[in-house]
Amino acid sequence: QVVGGKVKKPGKRGRKPAKIDLKAKLERSRQSARECRARKKLRYQYLEELVSSRERAICALREELEMYKQWCMAMDQGKIPSEIKALLTGEEQGKAQQNSTKLAKAAKTDANSSNP
């Protein structure tokens, strides 16, 4: 029988059952399971590193917030913290800019690391 330029043999349709060696099939299954476990382990390591970096960033921000709270409490009592005096006089302006730049870079780094 000729169909579309190809000779077809009469008989059953579809795939013929493959004669796969049972041992080979089991070995492929084991290998697949090993690879799956390895991928899972890597994924968990990545997530743990991400969590720890975020926790460090949170601690740094809490410390900064506490410093600002103390400054505000001091100013409410009529005292001007020396850090603010230095900022106002411009002596520490370069250092303040460096600190804010470092914080901005750290925030960008954390934001970029969360998007693999």
Residue 64 lies in a domain: yes
Q: What residue numbers bound the domain in which 66 lies?
A: 20-85
CB 68 within 8 A of CB 19: no
Is 57 part of a structural domain of the chain?
yes
Give a yes or no: residue 12 inside a domain: no
Kind plus residue range of the DSSP H or E element containing 5: none
Euclidean distance between CA atoms 26 and 46, whole angstroms: 30
pLDDT of 37: 98
Q: How many CB atoms are closer than 10 A to CB 96?
A: 14
| Alpha carbon distance 112, 50 (integer Å) | 11
CA distance 98 to 41: 38
Question: Does residue 62 form part of some domain?
Answer: yes
- Global pTM reads 0.50
Residue 91 lies inside a defined structural domain of this protein: no
What percent of the chain is predicted at pLDDT more than 90?
44
In a domain, 13, yes or no: no
- Asked if 1 and 10 touch (Cβ cutoff 8 Å), the reply is yes
Does residue 52 lie in a domain region? yes
Asked if pLDDT for residue 114 goes beyond 60, the answer is: no
Distance CA 114, CA 116 (A): 6
Mind listing the pLDDT tens digit for each residue in 70-80? Answer: 999 999 999 88
Asked if residue 93 is part of any domain, the answer here is no
Number of structural domains found in the chain: 1
